[in-house]
């Protein structure tokens, strides 16, 4: 299989390519220019994989923020999409696209489902949940397994503040994709409060363990914890975010930009570096943030990849658990 972590600037969109199908996790982009790049990437992918007939077996949107779903309406109308899943919420900066997708699923001949943390736990205990909507793939030699571990929270968990409960990031779908011995984990923009609940619930089952971690919330300071990394034990990490100076100019009208957010944070890169055992082929010098609007150069030696440094990141995974990373600037 291949995981295409597509460079969409300050946003997230990951295409999972399997021998018998394809899955898109998030359809975000920084702006209309990057949205067009995302659609062009998918067009070129389907030109290469003509056997798939421009069909996505699953589109999963982790949460209703615009940097994760700005291209959703175009994706659903441009390609054949069999299944669409989200967290069921109808608020947030990306609410219009999410509501449109939910309301038009039948017209687009898609099967739609939403999932809550409570429903996932009720159905699966501490093992994660899957069904034919979440995992519609049935490949011959190696059959992928797609599992959900979290979604929206219908009731406020014990210990959560009202602010944390109202934060749409904490209602992100958490998705794991497995291909033989290879595995990928996606935590959306789940923040520390949500991560604590996730880790506490699944700790005894050891089901979050994954080789490739899509780093939460674009490498923010509040979406990667040592407790999570101890559960995941990743050998590779990938960060999706914009170039460090996106939003630096005084005339930039956007309040949603990489420079203001300070993505990725140095503290997050240091946590990842302490957890990940292997090194990149060469050490690179990159810009990362101490805090909002404060960046400095750092060296990255470990297998930590990021779209602002590496462009689109293609991770080829063998069913044996061997990986090869290719970067496309």
State the pLDDT at residue 255.
Answer: 75
* Dist CA 262 CA 37 (whole Å): 24
Which of 239, 129, 110, 112 has the alpha carbon at shortest distance from 174?
129
Percent of the chain past pLDDT 70, that is, above it, reads 99
- Give 276-285 contacts, CB < 8 A, sequence gap 24+: 276/234, 276/235, 276/236, 276/237, 276/302, 276/303, 276/304, 277/235, 277/302, 278/235, 278/236, 278/302, 278/303, 279/303, 280/304, 280/305, 284/309
Residue 307 has pLDDT above 90, yes or no: yes
Percent of the chain past pLDDT 90, that is, above it, reads 96
Residue 252 has pLDDT above 90, yes or no: no
The residue whose two tokens read 């590779």 is: 236
State the pLDDT at residue 251.
Answer: 64
Phi/psi at 252 (5° precision) = -70, 120
- Residue 315 in tokens: 């991770």
Which of 84, 39, 35, 87 has the alpha carbon at shortest distance from 58?
84
Contact of 106 with 130, CB cutoff 8 Å? no
Which of 125, 109, 106 has the alpha carbon at shortest distance from 117?
125
pLDDT in tens, 281-298: 999 999 999 999 999 999
The average confidence (pLDDT) of the chain is 97
* Dist CA 62 CA 1 (whole Å): 21
pLDDT in tens, 226-243: 999 999 999 999 999 999
CATH number of 2-328: 3.60.15
pLDDT in tens, 91-106: 999 999 999 999 999 9
* Dist CA 74 CA 83 (whole Å): 15
C-alpha dihedral over 131, 136, 139, 145, to 10 degrees?
-40
Beta bridge partners of 178: 145, 183
* Dist CA 298 CA 296 (whole Å): 7
State the pLDDT at residue 86.
Answer: 98
Eight-state DSSP code of residue 218: G
Q: pTM (2 decimals)?
A: 0.97
Domain boundaries, the chain: 2-328
Four-residue CA torsion sign, 15, 83, 175, 164: positive
pLDDT in tens, 30-89: 999 999 999 999 999 999 999 999 999 999 999 999 999 999 999 999 999 999 999 999
Evaluate the omega torsion of the peptide bond into residue 264 and state whether it is cis, within 30 degrees of 0: yes
- Average pLDDT (244-257) is 81
State the pLDDT at residue 283.
Answer: 97
pLDDT in tens, 153-171: 999 999 999 999 999 999 9
- Average pLDDT (140-163) is 97
State the pLDDT at residue 253.
Answer: 61
């Amino acid at each position: 299989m291949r995981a295409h972590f597509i460079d969409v600037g300050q946003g997230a969109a990951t295409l999972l390519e399997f021998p018998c199908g394809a899955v898109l996790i998030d359809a975000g982009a920084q702006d209309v220019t990057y949205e067009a790049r995302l659609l062009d990437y998918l067009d070129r992918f389907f030109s290469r994989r003509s056997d798939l007939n421009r069909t996505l077996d699953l589109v999963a949107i982790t949460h209703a923020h615009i940097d994760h779903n700005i291209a959703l309406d175009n994706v659903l109308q441009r390609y054949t999409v069999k299944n669409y899943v989200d967290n069921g919420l109808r608020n947030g900066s990306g609410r219009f696209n999410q509501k449109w997708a939910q309301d038009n699923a039948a017209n687009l001949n898609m099967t739609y489902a939403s999932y809550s943390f409570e429903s996932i736990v009720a159905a699966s205990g501490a093992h994660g949940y899957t069904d034919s909507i979440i995992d519609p793939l049935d490949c011959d030699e190696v059959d992928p397994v797609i599992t959900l571990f979290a979604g929206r929270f219908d009731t406020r968990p014990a210990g959560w503040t009202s602010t944390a409960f109202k934060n749409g990031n904490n209602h992100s779908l958490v998705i794991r994709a497995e291909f033989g011995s290879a595995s990928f984990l996606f935590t959306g923009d789940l923040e520390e409060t949500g991560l604590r609940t996730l880790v506490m619930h699944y700790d005894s089952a050891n089901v979050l363990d994954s080789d490739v971690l899509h780093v939460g919330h674009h490498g923010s300071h509040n979406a990667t914890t040592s407790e999570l990394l101890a559960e995941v034990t990743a050998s590779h990490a990938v960060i999706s975010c914009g170039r460090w100076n996106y939003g630096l100019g005084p005339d930039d009208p956007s309040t949603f930009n990489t420079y203001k957010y300070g993505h990725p944070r140095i503290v997050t890169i240091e946590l990842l570096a302490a957890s990940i055992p292997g090194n990149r082929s060469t050490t690179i010098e990159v810009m990362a943030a101490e805090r909002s609007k404060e960046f400095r150069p750092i060296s990255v030696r470990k297998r930590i990849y990021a779209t602002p440094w590496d462009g689109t990141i293609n991770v080829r995974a063998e069913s044996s658990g061997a990986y090869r990373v290719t970067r496309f600037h």
